[in-house]
Amino acid sequence: MTVPVFRFAPSPNGPLHLGHALSALLNADMAAESGGRMLVRIEDVDVTRARPEYERAILDDLDWLGIGYETPVRRQSEHADDYAAALDRLAALGLVYRSFMSRTEIAAAIAAEEARNGRPWPRDPDGAPLYPAADRDRPVDEAQALAAAGRPSALRLDMEKAVRLAGPLSWREFGDGLGGPGETVAADAAAWGDVVLAGKFAPAAYHLAVVVDDALQGVTDVVRGRDLYFSTAVHRLLQTLLGLPAPRYHHHRLIVGADGRKLSKSRGSEGLAALRAADATAADVRRMVGLAVRH
């Protein structure tokens, strides 16, 4: 039997909070229970948001929580070549195009369209409007000329074509735990529209980097928050197009704040640093996120 491989994959663009602690602890617990390996991956592919001081703080927090992991950790910013190779493969399938609309232009185009036909513009599972089709059919040389002239652009996936090529997709979901039979979930990647694959400040967007890295690191079990549940559809699509294996997925409950809202890095409250400063222990954190304390 192959040894299971788990990973905690934080983005170093803010301090960790209790939701991250639950994710990291579940990964470490499941790795320990199954005799598996535990990896940490620093998802710093977006250089405009990642900060080295957050990476240091994250690794300190993991030590404080008593979470062991293999070193060296993989840092996405050091692997642009791997993402470029995956992008080339998708481009060779005719699935990638250069898009030029800014957020403001997208919003204006959508508002105009909604006013014209009186129907709401489709939105992705996170609530963001789907990218309008405007750039999809521009000839490649014209797009390259625009980019060379300095127009900001991003590379996007032609979702309709990609979904057609890949055929029906699904993933195996096992929820919070290791055991259980799991269930097969139908993956609706089309709901996300033409997702960004790479941009000016990142050689790969999250969806592309995560599938490339999970495959290169031999990850067998993805344990992460339910906020990424529907994104899994895009991951299964990219894995299929790139010929990468499908891990088992375990999407865990989210920790909510005292106000009932999902925790976020920007809110700062419930941050691990504050708990540490207040002399909380790793066992306290386990209790706070609803995990049994180990002796």
Take residue 235 and report the two structure tokens written for it. 């991951």
Touching ligand GLU, residues 23-82 (CB under 6 A): 43
Helix (H) or strand (E) holding 8: strand 5-8
In 199-270, at which residue ranges do the beta strands (DSSP E only) sit? 221-225, 248-252
Q: Which of 5, 11, 61, 215 binds ligand GLU (CB under 6 A)?
A: 11
From 6-14, 105-113, 135-143, 269-277, span contacting ligand GLU (CB under 6 A): 6-14
Q: Which of 16, 67, 195, 210 binds ligand GLU (CB under 6 A)?
A: 210
Residue with tokens 């803010």: 14
Q: Which one, 135 or 214, has the nearer CB to ligand GLU?
A: 214
Shortest distance, CB of residue 224 to ligand GLU, whole angstroms?
4
Say if residues 101 and 132 touch (Cβ distance below 8 Å).
yes
Q: Which one, 11 or 153, has the nearer CB to ligand GLU?
A: 11
From 7-15, 65-73, 189-197, 286-294, span contacting ligand GLU (CB under 6 A): 7-15
From 9-17, 67-75, 85-93, 114-122, span contacting ligand GLU (CB under 6 A): 9-17
Residues 6+ apart with CB under 8 A from 285: 18, 21, 25, 65, 272, 275
Say if residues 87 and 56 touch (Cβ distance below 8 Å).
no
Q: Which of 5, 9, 86, 87 binds ligand GLU (CB under 6 A)?
A: 9
Q: How many residues bind ligand GLU (CB under 6 A)?
A: 7
Shortest distance, CB of residue 172 to ligand GLU, whole angstroms?
16
Q: Which one, 224 or 236, has the nearer CB to ligand GLU?
A: 224
Shortest distance, CB of residue 100 to ligand GLU, whole angstroms?
27
Q: Which one, 62 or 210, has the nearer CB to ligand GLU?
A: 210
Residue 224 is a binding residue for ligand GLU (CB under 6 A): yes
Name 74's bridge partners: 41
Cα(140)–Cα(213) distance, integer angstroms: 28
Distances (CA, A) of 288 to 19, 31, 58, 94, 285: 10, 21, 19, 49, 5
Peptide bond just before 181 cis, omega within 30 deg: no
Q: Which one, 170 or 281, has the nearer CB to ligand GLU?
A: 170
Shortest distance, CB of residue 194 to ligand GLU, whole angstroms?
21
Sign of CA dihedral 208, 46, 97, 80: negative
Sign of CA dihedral 218, 220, 221, 227: positive
Shortest distance, CB of residue 228 to ligand GLU, whole angstroms?
6
Question: What is the Cα gyration radius of the chain?
Answer: 20
Shortest distance, CB of residue 135 to ligand GLU, whole angstroms?
27
Contact footprint for ligand GLU (CB under 6 A): 9-11, 43, 210, 224, 228
